Every structure is written in C-alpha cells, then in structure tokens.
Structure 1
Amino acid sequence: MHWLELSAPVDAEAVDEVVSLLGRYSHGSPVIEEKASPAPGERPFIVKAYLACDGSLASKKRRLFHDLERLPSPYVPQLQERLLNPEDWSKAWKAHFLPHKVGEHIVIRPSWHSYNPSPSEIVIELDPGMAFGTGLHPSTRLCLLRLERHLEAGMPALDLGTGSGILAIAAAKLGASPVLALDIDPIAVKVARANTRANGLGEIVEVKRGTLSPKMAAGLRGHFALVVANITARVIAELAESLALVLKPGGRLIAGGITGQGLDEVLICLALAGLRAEAIDRDGEWHTVMARGAQRA
C-alpha cells in the first residue's frame, strides 16, 4: 500500500493543537521532528502524519483540511504532501534510527541492528513501526531519564499513551512489575505488544487499547507507584484527576510531551488534583514534569 505523508511546519505553541488534529486522521500516531538549527523565520517543528492511499483518502483529506481551517490563525500550518511507497517510508526513518544510549544504563537498539552491551547496560530492542517512540525525541528521552532515576524493583507502573511501548519496556527492564501500557491507537497497541514480546516481557507488561477514563481510574484507585504519561499538555491537564486517583500515596507521575505553551496549564491542573510538582526538566522547547501525590496521613 502507498502512503500520503503530510508535513506541517509549526511553532512550539502550535505542536499540541496540530498533533491532536492530525492524529484524528493519521494511520498511526503523528511524528514530531525538531529542527536542530532552524533558519531565521523558519518554524522549528515539523508534525508528520501518514494516511493510507485507499478508498477513504479523499474523504479524510477533505475533513482534515476543513478542521485545519478552524484552528486559530497562528496555528494553521501550510501542509506539504508527499506520496510514499512502503519501501520509501521504511527506508526514510530506518536510515536515521541507530543504537543510542540514554542516561547511564539504557540503550535503545533498533531490531535491525546488532549491539554488544556492557554489563551495566539495559538494552531495549525496538521496532517502532508507525507508532510514536524511538527514544530520539526530547520528550521520550526526558521520561527515560526520570524512569532511570526513580524506578525501584517491584513498583507497579502505568504507561499512558505507550506508542511503541518504549517507556513501558524501559520501566519493566528497570524493575517495575507489573506494568500496564495503554494507548487509544490500535496500531500503537499492536506495535507495543510486538516490542514487549521481542524483549521477553510478555509476563510483566500488559498492553491494552484504551485511556484512563474515570471508570477505569476508579477501578485502579491507588494502584500504581509510578505513572508515566508522555502525551500532550492538553490531555495531561484533562486527565489530571484520573492520574492522581490511580497513584499510590506518595506515588510519582512523570508527565512528558509538554511544550512551554502548555506547561502552566499542566502545573495548575496537577496541583488542583493534589499532585505537587517536584521537578521540571527541559530539553529545548519540551518539558517533563515530575509530580508526587500526597502521603497518607
């Protein structure tokens, strides 16, 4: 099958809006690229989405462009289109995805590369397919660094918006058990399950399709010592109460995927839900918040 690649150059404050919109139509999660050295006046981020070239393409494009016109004017991107065959799409991102180390111990190894780890390294074998999460994006790196710092053996953990499964797998390899990984995207669920099995973690990591709805949160009240949610500022703010509800007393939330524009809203919503921000990490325009629930009296 051929694919239509839609590329949207955007400013930092528009990333969340454009990702949310393109995600309604994309076959798989949208991809966010950050330019290393944007030229003066050039927008520093590119959001890419992929649409299958099937019978629904024309209808999807019409609805997508209609929705784009309804965005606030500063957020409306000029979409660029490129037709890709499966081989072109695969080669385009695999060429730039090499084994790389994050923090002191974590190594991300693409499934098509070999790597000889040192005794202290934890290797995550990954084939992200069309799901978000390679460890290359700043928001993923920041979450991995926090997981490495705070995870302890036997901690029950939740990965909300798991994408490729990279953070759930990292949590399990760092000692978390059990781990629940959720994503609303069926492609991401399929990819995360495959990556979980490839890393020999099928008994520890459970991957399910869904989100942290009020009903699910109520059923998981006080269940997790650590929750990681590398999604968007808007979704984190909307789910703040549910995130607080599923944490054990004193449990930690690692919230990533937050641009500067959405940081204040996230901090306010987390505080209103009883989660106290203890640290804010930054990599360029991206922020990760580490917050804790109240200790039981």
Structure 2
Amino acid sequence: MVDWWLEVSVPVENEAAEAVADVLSRYAYRGVVIEAGPEGWNAGPVVVKAYLPADDQLRANKRRIEEALWHLGQIRPVSAPTFRSVAEADWAKAWKERLNVLHVGRHIVIRPSWRDYTPTPGDIVIRLDPGMAFGTGLHPTTQMCLVALEEMIYPGAEVLDMGTGSGILAIAAAKLGAGQVLAVDNDPIAVGTARGNVMINGVQETVSVVRGSLAEVSGSYDLVVVNILSKVIVEMMGEGLATRVRPDGVLIAAGILADQGAEVVTAMERRGLALVEQRQRGDWVCLVAKQGYFSG
C-alpha cells in the first residue's frame, strides 16, 4: 500500500496539454488528469497533473520526467514541472472539499458519498467516492460521455468501459439499463476504487470490474466507451478496439482535444467505424462512431 504520492503539475497552453500528458503517462501508471486553469477551459493555461507512487522508482522517474519535458520544451513552450508530496489521506480530503452534487444531462445526478442529497422523481443517482482514481464527473469529457450514454443505452445492452477509473461511466451504464457491463483498467488502485463504487451503487450484479488491457478483453459489445487520451485511443484502434464493437454497435470516445480529433477519426475509419456525431465542450471533443463501415 502506497502511503504517499508525488504530485507532478505542469501548467501549459491547451495545444501542448496532450503532449505533456503523454510524457507523464509513461511514468504515472494510474493516469493523468488535465484541469482547467482559473480562467476556465476556453481561456488561459490548463494544468496537467499526474501522481507517482513513492516507490523505489520514484527518483529515477522524476528525473526522466524532467528530462523529457525539457526536450519537449525545445519544440514548444512548456513550463518546468513542480512537485509536491501528497499523502493519500490529504489527497482524498482535497477532493472532498471540491466535489459537490452535480447534475449531468436530463436525469443523471453524481452524488459524492459524503454529500447529502434527496432524489427527485426520475433522478438516476450515482454515489461516488473517487479515492485515488480519476473520474469525478467534473471534467467536460466525462460529462459528455455521461450524456451520450444517457441517450444511447437501451435495456439489456452489453457495454465495455475501457479505462474505467472510478467506475463512473460503467455505473451510469448499469443504472441506465444496460444488461451487462465490463469495466477494465490497468491500474490496481482504479480497479479497487471502481469495485467499491460499484458496490455502494448496488450494481455488482451488472458490472464486472477487472484489471487488464484491451488484449485481455474478448468478445464484442453493443456499446464501447473509452475516455482516455487521443494517443491511447489511436493505439487501441491498432490493437483491435473496433473489433470489440458489434455490427451496428456504438463507440463513444472522449478525452480528446479538439485539434486531435481528426487523427482519432482517421484511425476509426481505417478500421470500419463511421463517425456519426462529434460533440464539443470547450477544447474537448467526444466522438460517436458506429460499426459497419469500411474505408480502404
């Protein structure tokens, strides 16, 4: 059990955020988050953050990050990273102060487990304790995925959630009527957090949370959702993500900066997926694609 983490923060302009996130993701196995700056998502810099476990690789990984960001800074403006130690308990406390009850879409309500909320008729309430896993519902990409799920889930649908994080999207799919949901993450902390959230939401009969990667996922699904980074989504396309989408099935892909969308669309189309909708919130896009189309 890791008692504390090294938080890495890099303020950058929007167009450099994904490149910085790619660097950090090589060393932060539990993921990277991109947060809005004080002026919001559409103006000013964003902050790319990652958390490194305090293990025997910490010193070396810190040095590698500093070197990689220095090299990236020769190509485009990148600020020097800042580092601070964060105890797991302090991290959780900071999130608890920040998170409030959040309404998303027509009926979805995200209720942090420590907040009180009285549901109104029609509410679909998701109790959430993010722990050390990403996926709180605050980020525009998560909200766009939730809205897309609300519109596209139908009773009995089989769903795959790749990179589940806190489990928020998998839980939403179950509460919206999915028959079976497979939630996958390669981070053991995320897997533990997601399993806990599945239990407190009472959807353990519908949602299975497993540690693994796309290569270990068999079969195909009516709906696949992946909310990661565009580079990872493109890589997953090369690893067979499209084959996990059934004929006439849907792929919801997010975590994509607007200027990276075309690359993801090209990767989708090369593997038989047709883009049917692109949604945008600030500098982030959510792509909705369907199976059944092939471009040579």
Whether 1:228 aligns to 2:229 is: no
Whether 1:125 aligns to 2:108 is: no
Contact 1:244 1:273 in 2 (8 A): yes
C-alpha distance in 2 between matches for 1:239 and 1:125: 30
Q: Residue 58 of structure 1 aligns to which amino acid in structure 2?
A: R
Whether 1:262 aligns to 2:260 is: yes
Encode CA deviations 1:71-100: one digit per residue, 9 max, x unaligned: 362164321222334443222221110111
C-alpha distance in 2 between matches for 1:7 and 1:291: 33
Structure 2 gaps of 5+ residues are none
Counterpart of 2:178 (choices 173, 176, 179) is 176
Q: Within 5 Å, give how 1:2-151 maps onto structure 2.
A: 2-26=4-28, 28-37=30-39, 43-71=44-72, 73-74=75-76, 76-151=78-153
Residue 246 of structure 1 and its aligned partner are, at CA, apart by 1.2
Sequence identity percentage: 46
SS at 1:282's partner residue? strand
Which residue number in structure 1 is paired with residue 195 of structure 2? 193
Encode CA deviations 1:16-37: one digit per residue, 9 max, x unaligned: 2222322233363222211251
C-alpha distance in 2 between matches for 1:39 and 1:146: 20
Structure 1 gaps of 5+ residues are none
Q: Residue 152 of structure 1 aligns to which amino acid in structure 2?
A: Y
Residue 14 of structure 1 and its aligned partner are, at CA, apart by 2.3
Bigger mean CA offset, 19-28 vs 251-260? 19-28
SS at 2:64's partner residue? helix
Residue 188 of structure 1 and its aligned partner are, at CA, apart by 0.9
Do the aligned partners of residues 196 and 38 (structure 1) sit closer, same or farther apart at CA in structure 2, a change above 3 Å counting?
Answer: closer
Residue 257 of structure 1 and its aligned partner are, at CA, apart by 0.4
Q: Residue 69 of structure 2 aligns to which amino acid in structure 1?
A: L
C-alpha distance in 2 between matches for 1:54 and 1:43: 34
Contact 2:113 2:128 in 1 (8 A): yes
C-alpha distance in 2 between matches for 1:191 and 1:75: 36
Root-mean-square deviation over aligned CA pairs = 2.3
Contact 2:41 2:282 in 1 (8 A): no
Q: Residue 257 of structure 1 aligns to which amino acid in structure 2?
A: G
Structure 1 length-normalised TM: 0.90
Q: Residue 270 of structure 2 aligns to which amino acid in structure 1?
A: L
C-alpha distance in 2 between matches for 1:253 and 1:63: 35
C-alpha distance in 1 between matches for 2:40 and 2:201: 37
Count matched residues.
290
Whether 1:274 aligns to 2:272 is: yes
C-alpha distance in 2 between matches for 1:180 and 1:82: 35
Structure 2 length-normalised TM: 0.91
Runs of at least 4 residues off by over 6 Å: none
Contact 1:3 1:83 in 2 (8 A): yes
Q: Residue 279 of structure 1 aligns to which amino acid in structure 2?
A: E
Do the aligned partners of residues 24 and 75 (structure 1) sit closer, same or farther apart at CA in structure 2, a change above 3 Å counting?
Answer: farther
Counterpart of 1:162 (choices 146, 161, 164) is 164
SS at 1:74's partner residue? coil
C-alpha distance in 1 between matches for 2:277 and 2:286: 8
Residue 104 of structure 1 and its aligned partner are, at CA, apart by 0.7
